[in-house]
Amino acid sequence: MARILITSALPYINGIKHLGNLIGSQLPADLYARYNRGRGNEVMFLCATDEHGTPAELAAAKANQPVADYCADMQKVQTDIANRFGLSFDHFGRSSSPQNHTLTQHFASKLADAGLITEVADRQVYSNADGRFLPDRYVEGTCPNCGYDGARGDQCEECTKQLDPTDLINPRSTISGSTDLEVRETKHLFLRQSAMRDQLDQWIDSKSDWPILTTSIAKKWLHDGDGLQDRGITRDLDWGVPVKKGDADWPGMEGKVFYVWFDAPIEYIACASEWAEANGKSDADWERWWRTDKGADDVKYVQFMGKDNVPFHTLSFPATILGSGEPWKLVDHLKSFNYLNYDGGQFSTSKGRGVFMDQALEILPADYWRWWLLSHAPESSDSEFTWENFQQSVNKDLADVLGNFVSRITKFCRSKFGEAVPEGGEYGEQEQALIAELTTRIRAYEGHMEAMEIRKSAQELRAIWVAGNEYLQSAAPWSTFKSDPEKAATQVRMGLNLIRLYAVLSAPFIPTATASMLSAMNTLDTSWPDDVTEALNALPVGHEFSVPEVLFAKITDDQREQWQQRFSGIRD
């Protein structure tokens, strides 16, 4: 049994996430977690809300709430929506937790002891109109590298160039829009990433199985221009992890907090400690996942994230872990995603454009969305959500192929043999051919899932569903029954066993439908089909079942047009 540690990029606290955020990290991470649990592996799947920084303060002010109350309320909202989408986290924590405060301060102390933190008299942008220093992301302007006019003060989304706010041309405050900005001096702590460039470079070179998207972004940040730069890890803000050296005060850093991008990845580790506390476990129970001196040396650690998060997870967070000199687990595989676009434009949380997770669940159950998003995951390039494509995929894949198969075979059996697996004879040539095809396809499906090739996994799963439909169409038990009821019974027995098999294989993609299929088949047997012949005899003769409700209703043209109209503008 393998041990798999899985983390998804932390969703930010300032509102409900859109479908682009969902497919960029949490949903594919859940797919991988569910698959590995299904194969009998020990899984620890962690995620949390990312709660610090100015966006949280601004969202709280807009909601007329104290920031701590706002974050607590939104964390409950995000937890509820994650549960309704079937995201099977072992723990969904909070970056504002006491555990993360302690661990962030601990790492800062270790890095300082190692000579990797330096105090810098930094020049930061101050907005006279807003009466405050502006964090990097709250300064926008024109990128000096590519000319994009919406570049942020930390990074240009267009060319991914790492920036400082003072690099921007014609900068403006994103809070007020004011251009009445000036640069003032303030002291901050910087992580000496540049001192670790060669070590990080060698570490990234050792990851031969990482996606090209991941390594190319990391290498760009390491080597472009002057190479990897030291990075500020503190900010002049009220809300965040107070700057301390372990549990001691840090002279000159009074009133400052750690930069959200320093503390947020550390929450991956802290989240495991939160899990232990929430479940009455000991420190040893979570440390065996994270400390290589306490059992984590045999753990495979996989991270999932959108491409905009790659630099921080390939460079800054590893620099924190390696620089501490302590035996913490480093990521083994980093699965990154391009962007999912929306109907000719971009999803945007800040602009309220696209379909958001709560809205999606208002109109259709989670499995509809899970299937479309995963089967169209933006792996090798950006992909685009259109309502036409969504309707077509749901109707063809879920309703016509899988749903129709389950409905036809259960209803036919009920009408001719009753609601129990009929006896019939041994599986014949046609059934053996199907078993051979399914064996090949299931092994291919496993290979794609283990390689985290999500679209290929979805294609193979659909092909497995299609194989059953083609068998049913070819065997035609409704015709066979007229001349050879015993043979028809054999064909029906194969069909009913296929439903259980499909439920097991489909569980990572569509867990709610899987539960319905298993319930209808009156079985708790979710054993993985290592031996397909055995799997297709799992439901014995006489085993009772029931005809399920329609698994997937088709999306009508009227519904599609109505939803297209509803989500054509901006969310209120």
Parallel/antiparallel/unpaired status of strands 42-49 and 3-8: parallel
71 marked as binding residue: no
Which value, in Å, is the radius of gyration of the alpha carbons in the chain? 27
Token code pair at residue 179: 């251009």
Q: Which token pair is 369?
A: 């969305």
Provide the CB-side half-sphere exposure for 201 (13 A, CA).
13
Alpha carbons 380 and 338: distance in angstroms, whole number: 7
Q: What is d(CA 273, CA 266) in angstroms, rounded to the nearest whole number?
A: 11
- CA atoms of 347 and 338, how far apart (whole Å): 13
143 assigned ligand-binding residue: yes
Torsion sign over Cα 559, 565, 569, 571: negative
166 is in an annotated binding site: no
Nearest alpha carbon to residue 497 among 471, 479, 463, 459 = 471
According to DSSP, the β-strands at 244-245 and 248-249 are: antiparallel
**146 belongs to an annotated ligand binding site:** yes
* Helices and strands in the chain: count of H runs, count of E runs: 22, 19
DSSP lists the bridge partners of residue 506 as: none
Q: What is the side-by-side strand order in the sheet with 383-385?
A: 345-346, 340-342, 383-385
Burial class (CB in 10 A: 0-12, 13-18, 19+), 242: middle
Instruction: Measure the CA dihedral 190/193/195/199, to 10°.
Output: 160
The whole-angstrom separation of Cα 505 and Cα 53 is: 41
User: What DSSP line would sit under 269-320, residue for residue?
Assistant: HHHHHHHHHHTT--HHHHHHHHBTTTTGGGEEEEEEEEGGGHHIIIIIHHHH
Q: How far apart are CA 370 and CA 363, in angstroms?
A: 14
- Under 8 Å CB-to-CB from 142, ≥6 apart: which residues? 148, 149, 151, 168, 169, 170
In degrees, rounded to 5, the angle at the alpha carbon of residue 108 between the alpha carbons of residues 113 and 152 is 130
Any binding-site annotation on 159? yes
Burial of 485 (0-12, 13-18, 19+ CB in 10 A): middle
Q: Which two tokens stand for residue 83?
A: 């549960």
- Binding annotation for Zn(2+): 143, 146, 156, 159
Q: Residues within the annotated binding site?
A: 143, 146, 156, 159, 349
Q: Which residues are annotated as a binding site for ATP?
A: 349
